[in-house]
């Protein structure tokens, strides 16, 4: 099968998703990463719609892309004017990109009832806009907006709009399921009902949860270009997720679209875009999510220790991911033995064999711990149970105070005393809250002994009430996620006192970082960035 062209619109359509925003400088960083993994077309934005996208294209003029062709997006000319008079098309050309993508109306409902236009004028706008951009020496991709809905309502007119783009000289016509309401069998059937003199692409939305399926079936029906976004970011329920589509095409459909080397970068770019967008990565995201190759049930773990493909549809390393075995109250000996081997821990030498460790974990989970979400604390627990744990610091005491003035918000102060190799250190710090103050005070105390602490950052903090029926006396579970330049790890604390629970999770996080700073990668419990 011929290679499929990948068209990424994270920087334009992706930013229409709720809470997804990028600065022009962030868009440049993302564009470089997209180019690095072999994306063929990068849609940078709509320069005629906002200053940020215009600035991005100005910055992008200094970038030499190795794999991608940068694309500026816009619409056809407005009714009643020629393309040469249209400011939107002028802004596209000023972006100086080798490729331009414009959308036009395919659905007669939009033409007549939304735009108050005539069907004939709409065809003129499409044909002349495409021809004008071609005359300016650009590669032109025409996005047929609402194509599938338009085709279902008025097949003949929908096809006339495609032919108008073809007559104008479009290099690609992309069929759009803009409302995300079409089903895979509809997509396949419609594409197979007509032929165009130029290649077609597919652009789907996820409103029915079928954006990936619709994109894949369109390729099977002959589409040569797939448009989508990293992590499926986009308006409403999102766009087709390229982090799912790319491995499906490469590993399951024999449609090479990126190299094996670049396929292995997929999980990394997924997290990079999430973090740049300040969005929490979705653990259950297919292929690249933290949980995509995670195993919890004892029977499953026992099987993958013998033959991984018994419970995995592909090798996680192909997309840059890794296998994870979780430990919880559902675990058996296989889980603990697998994790111990993975973390470089010896079992059974002091009376605490794997069966006893499983029993202790189940008891602690009954009390509210959740070790499948806190592998950093799990490693420390096993070392404590097997008498292998050597703390890098010990708490002597801490004090946290909260002050509230009549007209001022609360302020928090923490004082902490720790011991490192018999040497005491006392520090104090302020924070946005009690845990923030405690974190700052501990960090100030430790940095004098361990400068590498500066590379460690807290990235997530969660508090859960375990049993709300007892009101304010309820136990709380605190989960902390931390990271350095290479790894992400999670720790946990449980107590009736939220500060005590936070301290447990915080202390484990710092102990993990310090104890395993020089541990070989295959023996680390953290999740690689």
Answer whether residue 425 is part of any domain: yes
Answer whether residue 284 is part of any domain: no
Domain final residue, candidates 246, 276, 306: 276
CATH code of the domain in which 188 resides:
3.20.20.70
pLDDT value of residue 517:
57
Report the pLDDT averaged over residues 303-328.
87
Please report, for residues 219, 302, 326, 512, the alpha-carbon distance to residue 352 in angstroms, rounded to integers and kept in the order given: 55, 20, 19, 22
Answer whether residue 308 is part of any domain: no
Highest-pLDDT range among 49-53, 200-204, 495-499: 200-204
Element (H, E) at 162: helix 155-168
489 within 8 A of 376, measured Cβ to Cβ? yes
pLDDT in tens, 57-66: 999 999 999 9
pLDDT value of residue 484:
84
Q: Which domain holds residue 464?
A: 394-528
- Token code pair at residue 445: 């105390």
SS3 513: helix
145 within 8 A of 103, measured Cβ to Cβ? yes
pLDDT in tens, 170-211: 999 999 999 999 999 999 999 999 999 999 999 999 999 999
Answer whether residue 291 is part of any domain: no
Answer whether residue 160 is part of any domain: yes
> Who wins on pLDDT, 324 or 175?
175
- Token code pair at residue 128: 């002349």
Residue 254 CB contacts under 8 Å (≥ 6 apart), including other chains: 1
Closest to 386 in 3D by CA, of 422, 336, 420: 336
pLDDT in tens, 452-465: 888 888 888 888 88
Question: How many residues appear in the chain?
Answer: 529
Q: Which residue has the tokens 């200094």?
A: 62
Answer whether residue 369 is part of any domain: no
Residues linked to residue 103 through DSSP beta bridges, in sequence order: 75, 143
Record the pTM.
0.75
Element (H, E) at 173: strand 172-177
pLDDT in tens, 424-455: 999 999 988 899 999 999 999 999 899 988 88
Q: How many CB atoms lie within 10 A of CB 101?
A: 29
The string over 116-128, giving b where at least 16 C-beta atoms fall within 10 Å of a residue's C-beta and e elsewhere, is ebeeeebbbbbbb
Closest to 289 in 3D by CA, of 322, 258, 328, 260: 322
CATH code of the domain in which 487 resides:
3.30.160.270
Residue 4 and residue 249: Cα distance in Å, rounded?
8
Q: How many CB atoms lie within 10 A of CB 182?
A: 24
- Token code pair at residue 359: 């029993």
Residue 353 has pLDDT above 90, yes or no: no
């Amino acid at each position: 099968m011929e290679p499929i062209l990948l068209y990424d619109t994270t920087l334009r359509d992706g930013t229409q998703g709720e809470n997804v925003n990028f600065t022009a400088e962030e868009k440049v960083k993302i564009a470089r990463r997209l180019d690095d993994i072999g994306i063929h077309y990068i849609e940078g934005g709509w320069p005629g719609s906002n200053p940020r996208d215009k600035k991005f294209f100005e910055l992008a003029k200094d970038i030499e892309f190795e794999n991608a062709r940068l694309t500026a997006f816009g619409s056809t000319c407005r009714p009643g004017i020629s393309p040469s008079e249209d400011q939107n098309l002028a802004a596209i050309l000023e972006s100086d990109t080798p490729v331009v993508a414009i959308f036009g109306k395919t659905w007669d409902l939009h033409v007549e009832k939304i735009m108050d236009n005539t069907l004939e004028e709409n065809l003129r706008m499409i044909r002349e806009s495409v021809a004008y951009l071609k005359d300016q020496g650009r590669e032109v991709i025409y996005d047929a907006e609402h194509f599938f809905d338009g085709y279902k309502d008025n097949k003949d007119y929908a096809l006339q709009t495609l032919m108008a783009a073809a007559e104008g000289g479009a290099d690609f016509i992309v069929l759009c399921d803009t409302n995300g309401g079409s089903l895979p069998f509809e997509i396949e059937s419609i594409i197979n009902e007509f032929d165009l003199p130029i290649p077609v692409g597919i652009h789907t939305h996820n409103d029915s949860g079928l954006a990936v399926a619709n994109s894949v079936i369109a390729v099977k029906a002959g589409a040569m270009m797939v448009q989508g976004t990293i992590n499926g970011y986009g308006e409403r329920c999102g766009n087709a997720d390229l982090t799912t589509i790319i491995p499906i095409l490469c590993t399951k459909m024999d449609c090479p679209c990126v190299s094996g080397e670049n396929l292995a970068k997929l999980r990394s770019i997924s997290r990079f875009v999430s973090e740049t967008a300040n969005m929490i990565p979705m653990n259950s995201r297919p292929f690249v999510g933290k949980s995509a190759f995670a195993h919890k049930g004892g029977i499953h773990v026992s099987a993958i220790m013998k033959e991984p493909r018994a419970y995995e549809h592909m090798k996680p390393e192909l997309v840059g991911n890794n296998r994870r075995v979780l430990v919880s109250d559902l675990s058996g000996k296989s889980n603990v033995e697998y994790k111990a081997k993975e973390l470089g821990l010896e079992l059974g030498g002091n009376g605490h064999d794997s069966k006893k460790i499983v029993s202790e974990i189940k008891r602690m989970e009954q009390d509210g711990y959740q070790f499948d979400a806190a592998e950093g604390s799990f490693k420390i627990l096993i070392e404590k149970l097997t008498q292998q744990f050597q703390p890098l610091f010990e708490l002597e005491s801490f004090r946290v105070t909260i002050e509230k003035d009549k007209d001022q918000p609360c302020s928090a102060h923490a004082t902490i005393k720790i011991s490192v190799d018999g040497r005491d250190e006392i520090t104090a710090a302020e924070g946005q809250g009690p845990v923030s103050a405690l974190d700052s005070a501990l960090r100030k105390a430790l940095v004098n002994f361990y400068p590498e602490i500066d590379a460690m950052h807290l990235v997530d903090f969660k508090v859960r009430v375990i049993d709300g029926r007892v009101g304010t006396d309820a136990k709380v579970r605190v989960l902390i996620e931390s990271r350095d330049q290479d790894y992400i790890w999670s720790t946990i604390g449980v107590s009736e006192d939220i500060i005590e629970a936070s301290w447990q999770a915080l202390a484990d996080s710092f102990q993990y970082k310090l104890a395993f700073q020089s541990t070989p990668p295959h023996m680390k419990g953290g999740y690689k960035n």
